[in-house]
Each structure stands twice: as C-alpha cells, then as structure tokens.
Structure 1
Amino acid sequence: MWGMPHEDEALRQGLRELTTTDPVRALVAQDARRARREYPLTVLAGPMFGVAEELGADWRVITLGEATPQCSRDDLAGHLRMEARAAAEPEPYLAAARVLDWERHDELAVAGRRFRIIRVEQLLRLNLDGEPEPPRPTDPDPRTPPVPRYEVLAAPRHEMQDPPGREDPAEAEAAELAVRFAEAVDLPGTDGELVRADALRAELSHPVPVPMIPVFSVAEYLHDGWRSATAACPTPQRAREALAEYLQQVAPVVERVDERTRSAYDEAAGRLLAGRLDELAVCGRRFRIVRVEKAARFGEDGPEPPRPSDFDPDPPVEVLALRLRAEGIIED
C-alpha cells in the first residue's frame, strides 16, 4: 500500500507523455522507469574499449567491444590503413598506423582528424534477488542482424535540457548512472588501491556518464550466482543464436556429453530460437539473455581514455613480434 501513490503518479505521467509527446519516446521512458524500479541494483561488469573520432563536440564510435586498450590501438591502426586507401594523401594515415605498430598511444591527430581510444563501462541491473535484467520490451530485437552503423557519443549539453515536467530518458539515465558509479567506487574490498584511485580521479576528470546503446549477453546460473557466458551481442536475437550455437556445436564437443544430453541440448536450442526465449533451462542448467548497459564517461576534453590500472598486458604488434623472434617462437 505504501507504494500506490508513487505508482499512480508514474502511470499518470506515462499517460500524459503518450498523449503529448512522441509515443515511442514515451514508451521508452516508461520502460526505463519500470526497470529502475524492478531492477534497482547495478553492478559494474568491467570496461570495454574502442576507437572514436571527434566530430565537433560529439564523437563517432568507430569500433567498440575490445577487452584491452591495446586491442583497440591495433583496431585504430587497421582503420587508419583503411582510411589511407580512400585518401588523396595516404601517407599521414600510413605513418600514424606505423607509429601504433611500435608505440602505445591513446590519442592521435591524423590529417586534421582526432582519434582516441575510449573506455566504456558495462553495467548490469539486478533485482533484489540478484536476478539480472533481461531485454526490455522496447529494445530492438530484429530476427535478422541489423545493418552495422556508427554510434555517436553526444557530449553533454546543459543548454538543451527538456522543459520542466518532461523527462528525457537519456538524461534521467545519466543522472542515475552518475550515482551508481559513485556508489560502486565506495564499495570496500573489491578492487586494488590503484583501481580505486583511478576511479576516484575519473569522477573529477570525466564526471558525466553518457548512456550508449545497450548490448546483450548470455548468462548462466552457477552455484554462487549468474556468470557471463558469451561476448556482448548487438541484439537479444543474436545472443539467443550464440547460446544455440553453444548448445548445438560447442558444449557437446567440449563437455563430451552422451547422446541423450546432446539430443536435449539440440532440442533446447530449437525451442530457444523458435520461441525467441529470454530464459532457458536444460539438463539442470539455467541460462538467461541479459541486458548489458554501456556508458562512456565525459569530461571537458571528451570521452574518457583508458586508465593506468586497466588490464593491458600486450605490447604493440611489432614489439611483440621482436620479443617472439628473440624467444625463437617465430621466425622471420
């Protein structure tokens, strides 16, 4: 009973938005409010890294999804070589790519263009029972893979706030994420001192989280909770397909299952795809398609680059090649 007035007001606000604003925008806003209510806990799932190019105040994301900054530096070198093919003067692009082959750089200016390796936080929403949030009804979920497109990171613009009384879903989400990030930094005992110090510095240097397009993954429930089982996918359907591929092709080989289990896995994969399910139980195992939120932190100079404490074990490709030759692992 204590929650009824809040629920009634949320309903009235949603109805007002449906009749006075873009209906799609209103539904997305309602979905976001519901998610914040039903999945009030957030946990950081670790960063991903990518390449972005400055476009005025905004930044165009060229690649995203790498586990380490060096992988994204290698991606940038490849992108610069592709740009060289279409450029009237290719040498600046090729020269910059050669630099990245030997040196670590998280920002480069090439032919009047500015590129940066960016750090993007991944977050999972949980309910009070520790269950991760599945895809939302308003999340795009096409059966066929979407056409790849660039995502644009819009820099925060305070002068473009909506009129009072009208919630902008992105602004509401950014405000909540700022609070969640601060709470995550204050959790004791989860990270080393260097990681914590870097996170505290990021709150000052890049204080504004900018929500990005979510991705989707497969999680499996183990004895101590949910664990990610696949890489990030652009749509819930692609995550379902990844789980089906695992059940039909990977698990039978890796686990060396008997014919009965193999048949059960194959049947479950069929049910998963035919029913476009977001949760699946098979042979005592439980899987769920989960929604993974992304957010880039912005400061006055743009999106946050990698932090010193980020996992980044590999050297540039030519340095690695020299090391492997010296160790006799590869030959010229």
Structure 2
Amino acid sequence: MDDHPSKSPGHLTIRVTRRDDPVSEVTEADAFASVRKYPNIVVRGPLFGLAEQRRGERPRWRLLGELDTGFPQMARDELNSYLWNKAKDEAGDRAERRSLLEAVTLLETRPVNEVTAAGVRYRVVRADEFARIGGGRLEPPRATDPDEDGWDLDAPETSRTKGFVVDHAAAVGLTEGMDRVGLLHLSYTASRFPDDVRADSQRALTTHPGVVLLPPTFRVVERNEQSWSMVTGQHAAPQGARRALVDHLTRPMPELPDLPGMPELPEWMKVDEKEAAVNERAAKKFTARRRPNELVVRGKRFDVVRVERVMRIGPDGPETPRPSDTDDYGPSQIHPRMDEHGTITYGSSAEASS
C-alpha cells in the first residue's frame, strides 16, 4: 500500500520479542519484579569508552573496551594507544600503518572524538551510569544475573562489555523494551548539575533520541546516612565485586620503609593493626557465605549493587562527549615516534643519531 508509513529508522526502533524458553521466562520475571521493587533511578554521571564501526557493519557499532573512564580525554588516550599498538603489531602493509599513525598524530594534537583509520571508524562514546533504588536501598544483583563462585582475589574476569554490539533495532525482551521506553526522556534536571550540563542533557534528547542499555556491571558501595560512596570499580559479575571488597578489607596499602629525608606518612595511610584484624575476621565470615551482597564491619555498611549504563543513539550512532563534559588535561604524545615501516625512534632526534 502506497500510504503505508515508511519503516522507522534504526535509532528510533525498539523491537520487542517474546522468548518462550524457560530461562528467558525466569529472567523476564526476575527483571519485572526488580523494577517494581526498585522503581526509581539515581544517575551517577557519564562514563566514556571506545567503539568501532567496520565495513559492512553499518549502522552497528562494537565496543572496544569496558567503557569505564570518567573523562573524555582518558578515552582518547586509550584510543591513541590502541591505534599505535595496532600499527606496531597488526598492520599488514605500509599504507595501513601510515593510516593508523596519521590518526595517532591527530589524537596527539587535538581533542577529537572520532577518527577513521584503515577504513575503520573509531569513536569516543558516552553513556550515563545509574542504579535503581527503592525503600532507601540500591538494587543488589538479581538472581538471574550471570554470576560465579570462588574467592581467588587474583582471578581474571571475563568482560561482558568488550565486543558488545550497539544495535538499537536488535530484538530485546519485554522488560528491557519497557525499560528503554522509560529512559527515552532521561536527562539531568537536579540543581546540583551546572546549567550547561542540564542544557546539554536536554539537547541530547533531540540529537540522540534513542537509547540502548549496556550489560550491567557491579560495584561495592559504602552506605552512609544520606548517600553512598564507591569503594570499588565496576565488575562484570557480582562475584568480582565481592572479591574486590575482600581485597579492599584485607590488602591495605603497605607501609613504605623509612628512608632518610622522606616525610612521615599521613595517618590515613598508616595500617592500624587492630582495624586490620577486625577486617580480616569480617572478610573471613563474608567469604564463608555463598554470594553475599552486604557486610557490616566497624559500623560501616558495604553493599554489592547492580549498576546500569544507558547510551544515547542518534542517526549516526552512539553519542560522543558533550561540550559540558570536561577534562583535567588535553591531548599529548604518549608513545615514541614510528614510521610507516614500523621503525620506532626513542628519545629526541639528537639522541637517536648519537
């Protein structure tokens, strides 16, 4: 029919599908119950990372890392290193290496959020981190969140964010579809945010009207009377956050040996033996439980919480940093010079010729 409306663009399409397998049904029920129990959200702020778009994958983008840095320039530096190492170790010929190094040079001199090298688009992307809250408590891990056991504090973690495909039109379950609809108009409105931050947030509703939920992560927070403070970074599974809490309690910063002329360590850096013993006992009881999500020690309450990240999507893909997303420093040279043949020059030209 000629009068039938044309297909909606991918960045506006939310495709919901029903999966009839038992695992999906349990996951949907768990998600629905959690959203009802923790109906409100607390926005922490933006996180930045990297994405790439290869030939033949348009309009999809693929995340290159964890998306866990707090400043855009940190992500640009990460891209700088990624491309430099790619030129050193993976370039197939001089033309490819030259293209990669030209992008590195650009990243060394300008705070750009997108470069194209060897036919691949690379972008610094932005997401907002938030947690759900209800009854004065942040949401803990869900029973259906992928988890593991084991208390090896040095065990490697498997990323669920690296390699994630950002595809706004990909089919999702009913609860995630409803969540995304509810997040479409999420913006910074609280007075604690500066005027330019609120204005940029409101503008993004128009420039990047779609939203995609990234895989959840897990953190440990310390609960205070009116707020929470982060204790650990983000982890792919709840058990990773639990192990990080044990590490926090049992591996305090070691005391440095006394050296002539060195100032005395401040009190907060010194190890209190009594406190260390209490923390050790608390950690031992914590690890004796299976998948615990809270711990109280010396009047401090630690919670393992579920953290979500929402990325805004526009006609050309994921949102980049906003003008009000500030940096503490600018671009700079990170790695030594390399030519198209792969020859690396360390130090200044005078040092290299001597």
* Band of TM-score, shorter chain: 0.7 to 0.9
> Residue 262 of structure 1: CA displacement?
1.6
Q: Is 1:147 the equivalent of 2:155?
A: no
> Residue 208 of structure 1: CA displacement?
1.4
Aligned to 1:233: 235
Q: Over aligned residue pairs, what C-alpha RMSD do you find?
A: 2.4
> Residue 313 of structure 1: CA displacement?
2.0
Where does 1:53-132 land on structure 2 (aligned, <5 Å)?
Answer: 53-54=52-53, 55-63=57-65, 64-84=67-87, 85-88=89-92, 89-127=96-134, 129-132=135-138
Give the whole-Å Cα distance in 1 for the aligned partners of 2:23 and 2:85.
Answer: 37
Q: Is 1:267 the equivalent of 2:262?
A: no
Where does 1:255-294 land on structure 2 (aligned, <5 Å)?
Answer: 256=270, 258-275=272-289, 276-294=291-309
Q: Which has the higher contact order (CA 8 A, sep 6+)?
A: 2
> Residue 107 of structure 1: CA displacement?
0.6
* Greater shift in the superposed pair: 68-77 or 269-278: 269-278
Where does 1:169-180 land on structure 2 (aligned, <5 Å)?
Answer: 169-179=175-185
* Greater shift in the superposed pair: 250-259 or 82-91: 250-259
> Residue 40 of structure 1: CA displacement?
0.7
Query: Who wins on radius of gyration, i.e. which is larger?
Result: 2
* Greater shift in the superposed pair: 230-239 or 283-292: 230-239
* Greater shift in the superposed pair: 195-204 or 269-278: 269-278
> Residue 261 of structure 1: CA displacement?
2.3
Aligned to 1:138: 144
Instruction: Return the TM-score normalized by structure 1.
Output: 0.81
* Alpha carbons of structure 1 residues 255 and 21: separation in structure 2 relative to 1, 3 Å: same
Aligned to 1:12: none
Give the whole-Å Cα distance in 2 for the aligned partners of 1:120 and 1:48.
Answer: 5
* Alpha carbons of structure 1 residues 175 and 145: separation in structure 2 relative to 1, 3 Å: farther
Specify the SS of the correspondent of 1:176: helix
Conserved 8 A contact 1:58-1:152: no
> Residue 95 of structure 1: CA displacement?
1.8
Conserved 8 A contact 1:153-1:210: no
> Residue 161 of structure 1: CA displacement?
6.1
Give the whole-Å Cα distance in 2 for the aligned partners of 1:140 and 1:44.
Answer: 23
Give the whole-Å Cα distance in 1 for the aligned partners of 2:273 and 2:80.
Answer: 47
> Residue 139 of structure 1: CA displacement?
0.8
* Alpha carbons of structure 1 residues 252 and 176: separation in structure 2 relative to 1, 3 Å: farther
Q: Which runs of 5+ in 1 are unaligned?
A: 1-16, 320-330
> Residue 241 of structure 1: CA displacement?
1.4
Q: Which runs of 5+ in 2 are unaligned?
A: 1-17, 150-154, 256-267, 335-346, 349-354
* Alpha carbons of structure 1 residues 186 and 225: separation in structure 2 relative to 1, 3 Å: closer
Task: Read off the aligned partner of 2:250 and give its amino acid letter.
Answer: Q
> Residue 223 of structure 1: CA displacement?
3.0
Percent of aligned positions that are identical? 35
Give the whole-Å Cα distance in 2 for the aligned partners of 1:140 and 1:214.
Answer: 10
Give the whole-Å Cα distance in 1 for the aligned partners of 2:183 and 2:156.
Answer: 29
* Alpha carbons of structure 1 residues 146 and 260: separation in structure 2 relative to 1, 3 Å: closer
Conserved 8 A contact 2:46-2:126: yes
> Residue 234 of structure 1: CA displacement?
1.6
Specify the SS of the correspondent of 1:250: coil
Specify the SS of the correspondent of 2:124: strand
Give the whole-Å Cα distance in 1 for the aligned partners of 2:43 and 2:283.
Answer: 29
Conserved 8 A contact 1:155-1:298: no
Give the whole-Å Cα distance in 1 for the aligned partners of 2:282 and 2:204.
Answer: 44
Conserved 8 A contact 2:282-2:297: yes
Task: Read off the aligned partner of 2:22 and give its amino acid letter.
Answer: P
Conserved 8 A contact 2:59-2:316: no
Deviations, residues 297-328 of structure 1 (Å, cap 9, x unaligned): 10111000000101212111239xxxxxxxxx
Specify the SS of the correspondent of 2:220: strand
Higher relative helix content: 1
> Residue 257 of structure 1: CA displacement?
5.5
Where does 1:158-237 land on structure 2 (aligned, <5 Å)?
Answer: 168-179=174-185, 181=186, 184-187=187-190, 189-237=191-239
* Greater shift in the superposed pair: 45-54 or 231-240: 231-240
